[in-house]
Amino acid sequence: MKPVFRRVIQTVATASAFTVASFTLVAVPTSAAHAEAARDSIAESLAATVSNQTPPSVQIESSEAVDPQPLEGGYLLVAPGSERVAVIPESIDGDIEFASGLAVSLPTEAGAEDATQASTGGVVYEGSADQEASLVIMSAADSVRIHTVIHGPRASTEYTYSLEGGTPTLMPDGSVVIHAQRGDDPRETSAEIGSVEPPWAVDARGQSVPTRFEVRGNALVQIVDFDLDTAFPVVADPDFWWWAATTVGCAAEVAALVVAWAKLPSIIAKANKIISSSAKLQAAIKKLGGLKKSVELMRKYVQDRSKLTGAQRAGIAAAAGFGVSMFTDLLGVGTCVSLIRAIAKG
């Protein structure tokens, strides 16, 4: 029987971290079933590496996780109770496609193979030994995380995500806002259709590794500045928020509410009563200019948050953290709730 190559990940358990010590290629005569089992085992190990090294502050809670459903040519993601849909490709050469029309390529610098689904729900692209990087995609109800697992110092320090249907803008805090394109010219943009949180990277000792985004044309590049003192593997993560498909609906709901504002005195009174029950929420809404002004700022945030001042963005985030969803549901702008949660997490 012709031997096939499988990668053996040698692991060393330490008190402080889960560590992948090396990547080794060995020739092993095995059946197709055994080869598939080996791939599954490696996928589980890579998914575990990501889970173990993800900082607690950004861990995906089990209640928020979205399990991918296999389909021809990839995996389907559907966020519960919403129209947010995305498709993850089976091939590393494919794109992640969002219902909003945005498509994001996977970083070919990883040199990874086709996808395998881990039992934990992650979609894993095992990296080739010479390029020493793999990809693990995990999803929550409001975002898709593309983790790069960097196995050694020979790996690339740059990972490129090309965008179609959207144009990236780098924000002062290191995050990225994505606007819909108008026609074929990426410079002609309209409403915001997505965002990417500031990137993070952590090594096997749990130490942060310097990382940042750069925008190059219509591509987003994550740069990971590891060195010879870095403990591998390194897990690096750009987190694409996928609430974009709800932005149009949210903006429409807010617009309708503002037009009908004078005809809804009892509902407005109930909303103000909810606000007054929390001193922190009341202070946050007052700082934004009152309830009506706060709702209008939410609409502006949805359409293009880069046009809000830093103080306004911070004020909306503060209000979200103090229970703003209680009165947004009452006012009939429930579609905005997922957006408000995204602001709070940001």
pLDDT of residue 113: 77
For the purposes of burial, counting CB atoms within 10 Å of the CB of 304, is it exposed (0-12), middle (13-18) or buried (19 or more)?
middle
Residue ranges of the domains in the chain? 56-241, 247-345
Cα distance between residue 264 and residue 299, in whole Å? 19
pLDDT of residue 26: 40
Residues in the chain with pLDDT < 50? 1-29, 243-245
pLDDT of residue 216: 96
Residue 27: helix, strand or coil by DSSP?
Answer: strand
pLDDT of residue 201: 97
> What secondary structure does DSSP assign to 273-295, as a single string?
HHHHT-HHHHHHHHHHTSHHHHH
| pTM score | 0.64
Q: What is the pLDDT of residues 50-72, one digit of tens each?
A: 999 999 888 888 777 888 888 88
pLDDT of residue 12: 22
pLDDT of residue 15: 24
pLDDT of residue 254: 74
pLDDT of residue 241: 72
pLDDT of residue 260: 78
CA angle 242, 142, 334 (to 5 degrees): 100
pLDDT of residue 168: 92
pLDDT of residue 283: 87
pLDDT of residue 20: 31
Contact, 136 vs 123, CB < 8 A? yes
pLDDT of residue 125: 93
pLDDT of residue 180: 79
Contact, 314 vs 272, CB < 8 A? no
